[in-house]
Amino acid sequence: MKARGLSEDEVLAILHEKREQDLSYDRIFSSMCTPAHPIALKAHQLFQETNLGDPGLFPGAAELEQRAVKMIADLLGYPDAVGYLSTGGTESNIQAIRAARNAAGIRDGNVVVPRSAHFSFDKIGDLLRLEVRKADLDEELKVDLNSVERLIDEKTVALVGIAGTTEFGQVDPIDRLGDLALDRGLYLHVDAAFGGFVLPFMEKKWRWDFGVEAVSSISIDPHKMGMSTVPGGGLLFRDGRHLDMLAAFAPYLTDNRPTALTGTRSGGSAAATWAVMAHLGKEGFTRIVRRCMALTDQLVAGARAIGVEPVLEPIMNVVALKAEPSPEKVRSELMKRGWLVSITQDPRALRLILMPHATRDNIDLLLDDMAAVMRQL
């Protein structure tokens, strides 16, 4: 830091220059984030200085958080669910497994997750000192229940299912995982960080939420398909006792038993999440999801027209394409042409996410470039 500060104009000039270096979302097909809805931005700005770590100082912001949690609880099929708005899927997953571990009272335990689980579960193993056991997937890239069953033992503190896998957008058989959890008396966490704001708005009805009796907790991210601001996560529990497992003691705060992982927390994000849900309603989200799925269909049809097949018929707005001979090469050539796409590990494929910022025109342009790149390789 300099002894004498820069003028506001100088600072702004640097900020604008740096912002210019950031990519704009219209050519990004590799991200699960998207520009927040304008009403979320307004709400965030209005509440930006509020801190939910000390909610008694900001009862307005705190009420918006609880109203948002209530709306999410309704959406997830259990109006009595309790929880809070976190910083994102990683925090929600950590906290869910921490609650399960504390409830089980086992310190050197294990958690059984699908091999397709997000890398946040590896952090969880490290942080919580749990062994993360990875169950195999079936040919549709859903978790294989026999494999899950084989990995369970008396030290298992939780099972995890995913509703919208990071790489393929696949949905695990949550109801059957639920049968297994009930049978073994186990905690079942569902990671719907991505799918939570997609599945409820699709025509096809899936059994994946609190409607499945054994589901203990759900991660659902407003900062992904929820159109809210970053950081915006959500964690809901069926049973308030699990949330209580996370309480710390802070006698000097207005809420002396905080349950979130972070101390200071953005009231702006909570206000944004409430605002966007209140404003869009189920109709608004249904329109957004329908459009993302139409774009998904357009991409898959266009890919097939140039001889590129998807790994799976897309379940949600995540597409993995068998871009032979090398998804890595196709990716790097597309990146040279300004398209941000990613790849999957197993099986290797080119991965694209059709977020609300995607457009028909850009998909056509991307497909033209993909065809050119593949001819050249």
User: Is 166 a binder of ligand 0PR (CB under 6 A)?
Assistant: yes
Q: Interacting stretch for ligand 0PR, rule CB under 6 A, among 29-37, 176-184, 248-256, 297-305?
A: 29-37
**What is the rounded distance in angstroms from the CA atom of residue 245 to the CA atom of residue 249?**
12
Three-class secondary structure of residue 236 per DSSP? strand
Q: Applying CB under 6 A, which of residues 54, 65, 172, 221 lies at the interface with ligand 0PR?
A: 221
We find the least distance from the C-beta atom of residue 32 to ligand 0PR, in angstroms, to be 4
| Contact criterion met (CB below 8 Å) for 195 and 149 | no
We find the least distance from the C-beta atom of residue 219 to ligand 0PR, in angstroms, to be 6
- Kindly give, in sequence order, each residue whose CB lies less than 8 Å from that of residue 241, ignoring residues fewer than 6 positions away: 103
Burial label for 323, CB within 10 Å (0-12, 13-18, 19+), is: buried
248 strand-pairing partners? none
User: Is 88 a binder of ligand 0PR (CB under 6 A)?
Assistant: yes
We find the least distance from the C-beta atom of residue 165 to ligand 0PR, in angstroms, to be 6
β-strand pairing of 318-321 with 349-353: antiparallel
Cβ nearer to ligand 0PR, comparing 55 with 161: 161
Start-to-end CA span in the chain (Å) = 49
Q: Secondary structure of the chain: what % helix, strand, coil (to 5)?
A: 45, 15, 40
Cβ nearer to ligand 0PR, comparing 88 with 200: 88
**What is the rounded distance in angstroms from the CA atom of residue 368 to the CA atom of residue 326?**
18
Sketch the per residue contact string, 92 through 131, with ligand 0PR: x for CB under 6 A, - otherwise.
Answer: -x------------------------x-x-----------
- The Cβ of residue 302 has, within 10 Å, a number of other Cβ atoms equal to 17
Size of the site for ligand 0PR (CB under 6 A): 18
Q: Applying CB under 6 A, which of residues 194, 197, 208, 285 lies at the interface with ligand 0PR?
A: 194
Q: Sign (positive/negative) of CA torsion 14, 17, 19, 21?
A: negative
Q: Interacting stretch for ligand 0PR, rule CB under 6 A, among 68-76, 158-166, 259-267, 369-377?
A: 158-166
Cβ nearer to ligand 0PR, comparing 173 with 233: 233
User: Is 90 a binder of ligand 0PR (CB under 6 A)?
Assistant: yes
Q: Which of residues 338-377 bind ligand 0PR (CB under 6 A)?
A: none
Q: How far is CA 250 from the centre of its chain?
A: 30
We find the least distance from the C-beta atom of residue 133 to ligand 0PR, in angstroms, to be 18
User: Is 31 a binder of ligand 0PR (CB under 6 A)?
Assistant: yes
User: Is 170 a binder of ligand 0PR (CB under 6 A)?
Assistant: no
Q: Applying CB under 6 A, which of residues 54, 65, 144, 191 lies at the interface with ligand 0PR?
A: 191
User: Is 32 a binder of ligand 0PR (CB under 6 A)?
Assistant: yes
**What is the rounded distance in angstroms from the CA atom of residue 86 to the CA atom of residue 234?**
5
Q: Applying CB under 6 A, which of residues 53, 55, 83, 89 lies at the interface with ligand 0PR?
A: 89
Strands (DSSP E) contained in the chain are 82-84, 110-114, 131-135, 156-162, 187-192, 215-220, 235-237, 318-321, 342-344, 349-353
Cβ nearer to ligand 0PR, comparing 54 with 92: 92
Residues that bind ligand 0PR (CB under 6 A): 30-33, 88-90, 93, 118, 120, 162, 164, 166, 191, 193-194, 221, 233
